[in-house]
Amino acid sequence: MAYTVPKLTDYSEAMLQRVRDELLSALEYQAEETESEADLKNFRDTWVGRKNGVVTQINELWLKAAPKEAKKAVGQVVNELKTSIERYAEQAALLLSGITLDRALDAATRQGETPLPVPYFGYQEIVESEKPSESVDITLPGVRRPLGAEHPVIKTMHEIVGVFQKLGYSVAEGPVVETDYYNFEALNFPPNHPARDTQDTLFIAGQQAKPLRERLLLRTHTSPVQIRTMEKMQPPIRIVIPGVVHRNDPPDASHSPMFHQIEGLAVDTNITFGDLKGTLDHAMKALYGSSVKTHFRPSFFPFTEPSAELYVTCFICGGSGKRGSDPCRPCKQTGWIEVLGCGMVDPNVFEFVKDNGYDPKKVSGFAFGAGIDRLALLKYGVDDLQYFFQGDVRFLEQWA
């Protein structure tokens, strides 16, 4: 007996009670006829199917079509019927899975629900002797879920962030998919700079019709967040920016198309290169021990002037260049390890945010950036960057 949801023109209490009883009668009848997986599928399609199921139809034909003054009463009936239909479907599935009617009703009772008067569907109950044993030995120890640990790269990143947070720096974040403007132009990269070459940068496809500054790409460094932050906040600011960056590099022992970077920016009045040196010297000692020495060598970066590379004494060989009688590989026997690039913010960068209080004649600042993956390699004595991203738990749990 197929059930058809009628359209209502009379929303009186008597009519609602009548259609309710008719629906439940049809529901009960079809439930009694459910004796196989095919019957169960047909039952579910008829009553709880998303497109033309009875639940969908009563919501459309009764509740949504009801006049405003009758919606409350109709809504109560519809909600009650939805619950009944769903529970009939669930209990029919339980019976087909070999669970007796009594167990299904007991489960509903334990959950604080009032069991529906579900009819007996014609199945023989499982004989008690045929039921699998459900005894539990309570003297056995419980099953413990293994606890995870921070990934070595993430652990290193949190340590670096923690050092600068203690110095009063805030953490800033930004989008991984960036525009050419924020990734290059606003950071003083001229149009012909090699970093704009597609061999270094991963560009989003289909951007050729857009103006250059609006083209989308995967950020090559976290420096765009510096510009975004200066657009929102007036000086003074002190921020560190951890995050994932992408470059078009083939993976090998020291390169990956995806890696982690952390940058810092401090802007205020009368900030000097001496402030930069003192800050980074303190940070390196906090990370690698008070005996570590720092050394700055001139370099070039488009967004800083003057620029430098920071080296620290090798924290593996102590700066001697040797590990016992063997040469120290991490520092290539020099006793020094390059850890980051830094410098004073180029006045041309401030020009892009000049209207927000960053007049290069009134403020100055410094910036620095380091590859977190490289620092983790050095810290944990790993010689291949790819080990960090292969998902081998045996390797990663060494630093748990």
- At 97, the pLDDT band (50, 70, 90 cuts) reads low
Range of the domain at 175: 152-399
Residues 249 and 317 in one domain: yes
Domain co-membership, 81 together with 174:
no
**Confidence (pLDDT) at 148:** 74
Q: Is residue 381 part of a domain?
A: yes
Q: Count of alpha carbons within 13 Å of 161, Cβ hemisphere only?
A: 18
Distance linking the first and last C-alpha atoms of the chain: 64
pLDDT: which is higher, 382 or 316? 382
| Total structural domains within the chain | 2
Q: Is residue 73 included in any domain, yes or no? A: yes
Centroid of chain to Cα 143: 29
For 171, the token pair is 């953490």
Q: What is the pLDDT of residues 215-257, one digit of tens each?
A: 999 999 999 999 999 999 999 999 999 999 998 888 887 788 9
- Residues 341, 261, single domain; the answer is yes
pLDDT in tens, 169-221: 999 999 999 999 999 999 998 888 776 776 688 889 988 889 888 999 999 99
Helix (H, G, I), strand (E, B) or coil at 10: coil
Cα 385 to Cα 62: distance, rounded to the nearest angstrom: 63
pLDDT surpasses 90 at 346: yes
Note the pLDDT of residue 120.
44
Q: Which pLDDT belongs to residue 365?
A: 96
CB 5 within 8 A of CB 58: yes
Say what the pLDDT of residue 24 is: 87
Which is nearest to 326 in space by CA: 315, 336, 317, 338? 317
Based on the fold, state whether residues 167 and 22 are members of the same structural domain.
no
Q: What is the pTM of this model?
A: 0.61
Q: Name the band, by pLDDT with cuts 50, 70 and 90, for residue 68.
A: confident
Residue 297: which pLDDT band, with cuts at 50, 70 and 90?
A: very high
